[in-house]
A and B are shown apart, each in its own frame.
Chain A
Amino acid sequence: MNHNNKHRWPLAVALTTTLGAGGSAAAATLDDVRGQDRVRCGVNAAQPGFSALDASDTYRGLDTDVCRAVAAAVLGDAAKVHFVPLDSVERFTALQSGEVDVLSRTTTWTSTRDTTLGVNFTGISYYDGQAFLVASDLGVQSALELDGAAVCTQSGTTSELNLADYFRANGMTYEAVVFDSPEQSINGFEAGRCDVLSSDASQLHAQRMQLGDPDSAVVLPEIISKEPLGPAVRQGDDQWFNIVKWSLFAMINAEEMGITSANVDERLDSDNPDIARLLGRDGNYGEAMGLEADWAYRIVKQVGNYGEVFERNVGAGSDFGIERGQNALWTDGGLHYAPPVR
């Protein structure tokens, strides 16, 4: 008896600790966010269109609006976000160590990151990929006309590799002009060192704006690689994972149903059962996530649907004018498809 007890104690302690840790981790994030009355969101310090500081000291961009949506759903106020600028090395550490609750920092979803870093990607907020920027007076309409071109890229990136693959696959030749940083490569392009600049599409649009005359260059429609960008959360807290995942889905669903921040109040009384379920008029689909019934209503009302967010930050309503392309809804030939709320 005594002997047994001696053995059982450490086991019991170990078990309690494990359970305790598991239990607290599972519920911690939502409680912590509610307790502190703010969502801590890791963002890029300077990525035009995705998260950049504007003149009124606010972070603006597509990535930051994803965090605002989470804050609107959880706290009822899209402004209750505490943005933490992170560089690309420390972003995952900051998420793992609990310094941020959501990481929404132009992070490409890859298998390695998803499986080895202790983080979970909750969805795809932007389908990015490598594209080409050419001078508009070249008259090039498609990347397939670029045979023999001099192409500026950045060294040590996957862009270099993708470029080689793409040109070989299409039986074309090119001459690589390699630079170290985005600034250098756009300066090289402007100085005429190359005919084409190749990088991720989101970055190309920002680089184009840095030209003396942005209209002198165009981004070609071809996308030659997959760079799905999305928000990520810590592993081990499924409730929080669901909240972030469905905040993004709610925005995409709202666009599909034609609900915008302007008409969401009228749509509250809609007869469409899908809309009634999304906006919390029929059933309470937020309860299982620990949220109120009107969680999605608050997102759309305060932040907008996905289309609004896209147009405002990177699309036609912004300085970049990026086409929806792959980022259109599945109903419009794009890739954004959200599971239904029911």
Chain B
Amino acid sequence: MTIQHKMIEARPAPKSTVGPLAWLRANLFSGPVNTVFTLLGLYLLYLLLVPTIEWAFIDADWIGTTRDDCSREGACWVFVKARLGQFIYGLYPRDEIWRVNLTFGVFAVLIAWLMIPRLPFKRWVAAATLLVFPIFAFFLLYGGSFGLPLVQTHRWGGLMLTLVLAVVGMVGALPIGIVLALGRRSQMPIVKSFCVVFIEFWRGVPLITVLFMASVMLPLFMPTGVSVDRLIRAFIGITLFQSAYMAEVIRGGLQAIPRGQEEAAAALGMSYWLRMGLIVLPQALKMMIPGIVNTFISLFKDTTLVMIIGLFDLLGIVQAALSDSRWLGFSLEGYVFAAFMFWIFCFSMSRYSQYLERKLHTGHKR
């Protein structure tokens, strides 16, 4: 009888259980039924993908400037190329688009600063983003002072308008939402009932109705000659609407924090705002990330509804361009482009929220 004193060296797993082949066997061809479904799925994919790729890439026209450069066999991206400036900046004067670029450049730097964990002075940058940047952006985009020519809001459009609406809506809705959520949980009857009525009212009407009221009914209530800028009307409508949704998302997060924590903090002599700011909200906001990002993404897409009040967001300007008599019949290309742009932004938001959840993960995740 021999006793082996050495451990047997680890051997590679059998060939049949590792590598792509094994993965295929385990996941796609593990039985006759699964094999049939896999083959069927592949066939459907083939049916769907091949014409799409042919249309979008192989037969597509990329080069040129006019309708005559389109062979009409596949997609004609010349249309999108010729209109790209309009799709991104709307009717913003071409000599002034550096202002839009600068605004969004600064915004991107600020957001990147906040997102990259290693960089210092987070608090100051956050304060600048929330307080200084909106004023800076307003003066830069709208102009009319500091020697910049005035660019009226009816010239704003395209992706730029979509981003402006979404950012204003998000930045405005979050604080109002937090206040409303805290108010709804408050013991004070007047505060509580005001918040409940506000939230239930705004949640009870569709956004399209809000915008419609703002554009069709509001002007009739105003004295003749007094008119509020359409963009301001859209800002107010979208912000109030989203803050009601945000409030409910935040209230959901607040309810997940055990009451004992707040009571313990109260026992330590902390005031209401200290309890909320230091104990409850930091924990609750972390859990709310999926809900908040969900609201943001839906807000980003809802901005397309401003089309009905005559503002040209990305989708609106694409639709307007489709009716140019020089470019009739390219609706598919236009809509695919718009969908792609929306997807890029929504998908990035979604990925960032997942990253944030992992980073802040402290044992709540299930």
Interface residues of A (CB under 8 A from B): 25, 28, 32, 45-49, 52-55, 57, 82-87, 89-90, 93-94, 96-99, 183, 206, 209-212, 318-320
Contact = CB atoms under 8 A, between A and B. Distances in A.
Contacts of A57: 86, 91, 94
12 contacts: A46-B319, A90-B215, A90-B308, A93-B216, A93-B217, A93-B220, A206-B323, A206-B328, A209-B329, A212-B72, A212-B329, A319-B328
Contacts of A98: 219, 224-225, 227
Nearest to B221: A97
B329 A48 contact: no
A211 B310 contact: no
Contact of B322 (A46, A84, A93, A99): A46
B222 interface: yes
B222 A97 contact: yes
B313 to A, nearest CB: 12
A-B pairs, top 5 by smallest CB distance, nearest first, are A97-B219, A46-B323, A209-B328, A210-B329, A52-B323
A319 B331 contact: no
Given A53-B86, A210-B328, A211-B329, A45 B225 contact: no
A196 B32 CA distance: 52
Interface of B: 72, 82-83, 86, 91, 94, 152, 154, 215-217, 219-220, 222, 224-225, 227, 308-310, 312, 316-317, 319-326, 328-329, 331
B216 A90 contact: yes
Query: By CB atoms of chain B within 10 A, which of A57, A82, A94, A183 has the most?
Result: A57
A192 to B, nearest CB: 17
Nearest to B224: A98
Contact of A54 (B94, B152, B309, B324): B324
B68 to A, nearest CB: 12
A320 B325 contact: yes
Contact of B220 (A47, A96, A210): A96
A141 B216 CA distance: 45
Contact of A53 (B224, B309, B324): B324
Residue of B72, B216, B217 with most chain A CB atoms under a 10 A cut-off: B216
A34 to B, nearest CB: 14
B329 A97 contact: no
Contacts of B215: 90, 93
A97 B220 contact: yes
Given A53-B321, A55-B82, A319 B326 contact: yes
B328 A84 contact: no
B224 A52 contact: no
A235 to B, nearest CB: 13
Nearest to B91: A57
Nearest to B217: A93
A48 B325 contact: yes
Contacts of A48: 323-325, 328
Contacts of A212: 72, 329
B323 A47 contact: yes
Contacts of B219: 93-94, 96-99
A71 B194 CA distance: 49
Contacts of A183: 331
B154 to A, nearest CB: 7
Contacts of A28: 224-225
Contacts of B320: 45-46, 52-53, 85
Contacts of A209: 325, 328-329
A319 B319 contact: no
Given A54-B326, A210-B328, A210-B331, 11 more contacts: A48-B323, A48-B324, A54-B324, A57-B91, A82-B154, A83-B154, A84-B310, A87-B308, A90-B308, A98-B219, A212-B329
B323 A90 contact: no
A154 to B, nearest CB: 17
A83 B320 CA distance: 13
Nearest to B65: A55
A194 B64 CA distance: 35
Nearest to A97: B219
> Which of A54, A82, A96, A211 is packed against the most chain B CB atoms within 10 Å?
A54
Nearest to A212: B72
A318 B152 CA distance: 31
Nearest to B226: A98
A141 to B, nearest CB: 26
B79 to A, nearest CB: 10
A85 B328 CA distance: 19
Given A45-B310, A45-B316, A87-B308, A55 B326 contact: yes
B338 to A, nearest CB: 14
Nearest to B155: A57
Contacts of A211: 329
A274 B286 CA distance: 79
A55 B86 contact: yes
